[in-house]
C-alpha cells in the first residue's frame, strides 16, 4: 500500500493516491488492534500516511487539510529522523516552503549513509536535483552551487559505471548468441547421425530402430530444454540492456538540468541560450555567472560526442563556474582550465573549444577570450552584422603550458552578440550539404526580433528546415546576448 501510494504521488495522480492512502489507513488501524502490534512500527507507518496525505492534499489544492496532515506528521518520532525529513521535503516543495525544504535536505547525506545507498543516476535525479532546486529557490546560492558541483562530480562516476555495465551486458548477449549457435550446429550434426543410424536399424532389425528412436527423442528433449533455458537467459540480458538505455536517458536529463534554463533578470539585459545533444548525452556546454554588474558567460564544444564528451563537458563547465566566481579575466580562465585538462591525465587527447566573455552591464565593455571556437556574430554596424575578427588561440586541453591572450570591445550596447557551436554551420541535409556561414550571416542580418529567445528559435527553425528530415550530425548550442 505504501509503495502504491508513493508511486501515484510521484506521477502527480493525487486522487488515486488519496484512495490508496485511505486503504493504508485502514490497514494501520487493523494492525494496531493486533495483540502483537509493535508501537514503533505503527508510529512509523502512521507518520508516512500523514506526510503522504499532506502531499496529496496539497497537490489537489486542499491546503488547509494538507497543513493539518503535516502538523500530525510533525508530532511523530519518525519526523525527527533523516528519512522523515527527506519525505517531508516533497510536501514542503509542493507547498512552496523552500526555506523549510532546504533545511530538511541537509539530512540527505545522513539518510544515504544510514541506508548504505550510493548516488546512482536515479538517486542523483530523485535526491540531489531536488536538493539543488530547493536551495536555489530558497536563495541559498552558495549551497546550490556546491550541490551542482557535487552532482557534476558524482555524474562522472555514475555514467562511467552505467557504460561499464552496459558493455558487460552486451558482451554477455554476444557470448550467449555464440553458445546458442554452437548448440544448434551440434544438434543438426547429431540429428544427421541419428537419422543414418535409424535408417540402418530399420533394415537390420525393427527393435533396434525403436530403441534408437527412443534415445534420439530423449536427446532432442534435453536439447530443447537447454535451448529454452538459453533463451530465458537471453531475455533477462535484453531486459538489463533496456534498463541501461533508460539510465542513459536519465543521464541526459541530469546533463540538461546542469545547464541554465533561466537567465539573469537584469534591467536592460536580454539573454537566452539553448542546447540540443545529437545523442543521449552530448559534449556542448554553456553557462553564466552574474556578480553585481559583471556577467561572465561561456559556450563550448568538446571533441567527439556521447558519454566521453559529456564527462569532459562536465569538467569544463565546473572549472568555468569555479574560476568565474573568483573574478578572473577570460584569458586567465582559459589558461587555468587548459592547465587542469591538458597533460598526461588526458589519455584520450580530448579538447574543448570555448568562447568566454566578461560583460560590464553598465558600460557595455566586453572582455573576451576565444579558445579555437567559431567566430561569434556581432549584430548592427554598417552591414547589419559581421563575424568577429579574433586572435587564433588554440583549443583547450591539447597542449599544457599555453598562455591564452584576451581581447576587448569598448562597448556592445545596442548590438546583439550571437555565439554558437559548429553543430549550426555544419548541420547537414540528406545530400550532406552544410548549413554554412554565409546562410547564417544572411539570416541574422534579416531577422527582426523582439528578444534573444526569438532569435535562437528562428535559427533552430531554419536549421530544421535545412536538414529536411536528416538525423543531426552534431550537438547544437546557441547563445544570444543584447544589452
Helix axes 452-467, 437-446, angle to 10 degrees: 140
**Is the pTM here over 0.75, yes or no?**
no
pLDDT at 60: 93
- Residue entry with cell 554452437: 182
Other residues' Cβ atoms within 10 Å of the Cβ of residue 465: 10
Cell numbers for 50: 500523514
pLDDT at 150: 79
Phi first, then psi: what are they for 372, rounded to 5°? 70, 15
Alpha helices in 75-140 (DSSP H): 82-94, 98-104, 108-115, 121-123, 129-137
84: closest CA among 126, 37, 28, 46? 46
Question: If DSSP codes are grouped into helix, strand and coil, which group holds residue 288?
Answer: strand
444-458 burial, b at 16+ Cβ within 10 Å, e below that, comes to: beebebeebbebbee
Residue-wise pLDDT tens for the chain (483 aa)?
A: 889 998 999 898 999 999 999 999 999 999 999 999 999 898 999 999 999 999 999 999 999 998 999 999 999 999 889 888 888 888 988 889 999 888 888 887 887 787 777 667 777 777 788 888 888 888 898 888 888 887 887 776 666 666 665 667 676 667 877 887 778 788 788 888 888 887 887 888 888 878 877 787 777 678 677 767 766 776 776 566 666 655 556 655 666 677 898 999 999 999 999 999 887 777 899 999 999 999 999 999 998 777 788 888 899 999 999 999 999 999 999 999 999 999 888 888 899 999 999 999 999 999 999 999 999 999 988 888 999 999 989 999 999 999 999 999 999 999 999 999 999 999 999 999 999 999 999 999 998 888 999 999 999 999 999 999 999 988 999 999 999
pLDDT at 243: 66
Partner residues linked to 9 by β-bridges: none
Cβ-contact 481, 270 below 8 angstroms: yes
pLDDT at 427: 95
Amino acid at each position: 500500500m505504501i509503495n502504491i501510494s508513493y508511486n501515484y504521488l510521484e506521477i502527480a495522480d493525487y486522487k488515486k493516491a488519496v484512495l490508496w492512502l485511505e486503504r493504508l489507513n485502514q490497514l494501520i488501524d487493523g494492525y494496531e488492534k493486533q495483540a502483537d502490534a509493535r508501537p514503533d512500527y505503527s508510529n512509523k507507518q502512521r507518520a508516512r500516511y500523514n506526510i503522504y496525505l499532506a502531499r496529496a492534499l496539497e497537490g489537489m489544492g486542499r491546503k488547509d487539510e494538507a497543513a493539518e496532515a503535516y502538523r500530525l506528521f510533525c508530532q511523530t518520532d519518525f519526523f525527527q529522523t533523516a528519512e522523515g525529513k527527506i519525505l517531508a521535503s516533497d510536501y514542503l516543495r509542493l507547498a512552496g516552503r523552500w526555506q523549510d525544504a532546504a533545511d530538511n535536505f541537509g539530512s540527505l547525506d545522513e539518510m544515504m549513509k544510514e541506508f548504505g545507498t550510493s548516488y546512482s543516476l536515479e538517486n542523483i535525479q530523485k535526491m540531489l536535483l531536488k536538493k539543488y532546486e530547493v536551495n536555489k529557490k530558497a536563495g541559498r546560492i552558495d549551497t546550490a552551487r556546491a550541490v551542482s558541483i557535487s552532482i557534476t562530480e558524482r555524474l562522472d562516476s555514475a555514467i562511467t559505471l552505467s557504460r561499464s555495465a552496459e558493455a558487460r551486458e552486451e558482451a554477455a548477449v554476444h557470448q550467449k548468441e555464440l553458445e546458442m549457435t554452437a548448440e544448434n550446429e551440434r544438434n543438426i550434426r547429431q540429428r544427421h547421425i541419428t537419422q543414418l543410424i535409424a535408417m540402418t536399424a530399420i533394415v537390420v532389425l525393427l527393435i533396434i530402430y525403436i530403441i534408437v528412436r527412443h534415445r534420439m527423442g530423449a536427446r532432442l528433449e534435453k536439447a530443447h530444454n537447454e535451448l529454452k533455458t538459453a533463451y530465458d537467459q537471453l531475455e533477462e540480458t535484453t531486459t538489463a540492456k533496456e534498463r541501461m538505455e533508460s539510465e542513459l536517458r536519465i543521464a541526459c536529463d541530469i546533463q540538461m538540468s546542469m545547464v541554465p534554463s533561466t537567465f539573469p533578470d537584469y534591467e536592460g539585459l536580454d539573454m537566452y541560450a539553448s542546447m540540443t545533444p545529437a545523442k543521449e548525452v552530448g559534449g556542448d556546454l554553456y553557462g553564466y555567472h552574474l556578480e553585481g554588474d559583471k556577467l561572465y558567460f561561456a559556450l563550448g564544444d568538446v571533441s567527439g560526442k556521447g558519454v566521453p564528451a559529456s564527462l569532459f563537458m562536465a569538467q569544463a563547465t565546473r572549472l568555468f563556474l569555479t574560476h568565474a566566481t573568483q573574478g578572473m579575466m577570460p584569458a586567465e580562465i582559459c589558461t587555468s582550465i587548459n592547465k587542469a585538462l591538458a597533460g598526461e591525465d588526458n589519455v584520450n587527447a580530448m579538447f574543448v573549444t570555448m568562447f568566454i566573455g566578461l560583460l560590464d552591464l553598465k558600460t557595455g565593455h566586453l572582455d573576451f577570450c576565444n579558445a579555437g571556437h567559431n567566430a561569434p556574430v556581432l549584430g548592427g554596424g554598417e552591414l547589419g552584422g559581421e563575424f568577429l575578427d579574433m586572435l587564433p588561440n588554440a583549443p583547450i586541453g591539447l597542449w599544457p603550458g599555453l598562455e591564452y591572450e584576451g581581447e576587448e570591445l569598448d562597448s556592445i550596447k545596442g548590438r546583439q552578440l550571437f555565439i554558437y557551436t559548429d553543430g549550426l554551420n555544419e548541420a547537414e541535409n540528406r545530400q550532406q550539404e552544410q548549413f554554412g556561414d554565409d546562410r547564417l550571416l544572411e539570416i541574422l542580418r534579416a531577422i527582426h526580433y523582439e528578444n534573444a529567445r526569438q532569435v535562437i528559435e528562428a535559427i533552430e527553425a531554419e536549421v530544421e528546415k535545412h536538414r529536411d528530415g536528416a538525423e543531426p550530425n552534431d550537438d547544437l548550442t546557441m547563445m544570444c546576448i543584447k544589452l
